[in-house]
Amino acid sequence: TSPKTPVVHKGRGDKGIVVMIDCGTKHGIIKGLYDQGFTVVRVPCWFSPKEIMDYNPKGIIFGNGPGNPNLYVNQVKNFREILEYKLPTMGICLGHQLLTIALGGKVRKMKFGHRAINKAVVDLTTGEGYITTHNHGYAVLSKDDVPKGMKVWFYNPDDGTVEGMYHEKLPIITTQFHPEARPGPWDVTWVFKKFAKMVESNG
């Protein structure tokens, strides 16, 4: 569940604050960011963009959570407003879906959801394959549902589901799968390093 008040996880480094909009975030995500040297501030999912930006974050994380993403009307509205600040942003699972909707793409219910710790994804930027953990019944089902400005980063070779995206111009990345999954697999923990480099490059 979302916290009722902000929770601060003081980082082991000095890379600054990233704010996580928490709709039910897994602690593995927090650790993934913590390990990169960030202080993570988890805020309730109903926080306004102004309340979020009051923390002067270096980056924004939209984590995972339950349910139909098309019903998260307020969160989508806030997401759209936060994107206007052009901060490095990462969406994971539900966050991937909310970003899709915020930018005008489509997220639909799957006939057969992905729920396993051994789902393959392919990185279109490198051609490499990874084994990842999934737990979702809604998805960006094809490239036709990808919003304008976003490119397919990962896809599922079994059914073509879009499993990750990146923006053509802005520092935005998403994954439908869970790079933080415990106890693994650990194939895609490097996604957190990629996000950290985005933050560093943004200054």
By annotation, the residues acting in catalysis are 93, 178, 180
**CA angle at residue 54 from 50 to 57, to 5 degrees?**
110
Between CA 64 and CA 44 the distance in angstroms is: 13
Strand intervals (E) in the chain: 7-9, 17-22, 39-44, 59-62, 89-92, 108-123, 129-139, 150-155, 162-167, 172-175
